[in-house]
Amino acid sequence: MSLANPQAFFDQMRAGLLGPILTAQEVDGCNAVLSAMGGCPRAYTAYALATAYHETASTMMPIREYGGTTYFTRMYDISGARPQKAAAMGNTAPGDGPKYCGRGYVQLTWKSNYRLAGDKLGVDLVSYPDKAMEPAIAAKIMRHGMMDGWFTGRKFSSYLPATGPASRTEFIEARRIINGTDKASQIADHALAFQQALEAGGWL
């Protein structure tokens, strides 16, 4: 599955959610997600695009988690406020907290998750965690995480149809793949817009 008519897809986005002017970063980000989602159903792809749009404040570029060294140490480091959690998630050395803070379209955190994603993609994310900020890699992490339930144990197939369009209600429920029900209605509306653009572009 891919876009038969990319121009129609971007024309639709320019007239709506990403318009009236598309930046080069927005186009590159969309293309990174579309490439990573190749072969996936239209509803899955629409929700991945909507998730990237929401999580990156509409820039469509991977982002680093907000916060600094002090915050990341407190939250994720063996020397921070949650040493047992840190150890359980692979952050066993001082400094692992800031090193394995959140990055990407969907925030990848903890050394164990960097290892899991890196092994899946064939990329050494443990040694080079900033690679999770590269759009192509970040998009693949998002795809596999949402397909396989890395983030909450829920996955695309739990909520979205493998053929045909998804309804707004289905897109609302799909937020559970990432983060419970936070902003679920808003993201569902974005997904509907992306789904319409994918249809216009002949996503096959």
Q: What per-residue confidence (pLDDT) applies to 204?
A: 77
Q: What per-residue confidence (pLDDT) applies to 179?
A: 87
| Residue 18 or 142, more confident | 142
- Please check the confidence at residue 12 and state whether its pLDDT lies above 90: yes
pTM beyond cutoff 0.85:
yes
Question: What domains are there in the chain, each with its CATH number?
Answer: 6-62+135-200 (no CATH), 64-133 (3.30.20)
User: Over the Cα atoms of the chain, what is R_g?
Assistant: 17
Q: How far apart are CA 65 and CA 57, in angstroms?
A: 12
Q: How far apart are CA 82 and CA 85, in angstroms?
A: 5
Binning pLDDT at 50, 70 and 90, where does residue 180 land?
A: confident
Rounded mean pLDDT, 60-84: 96
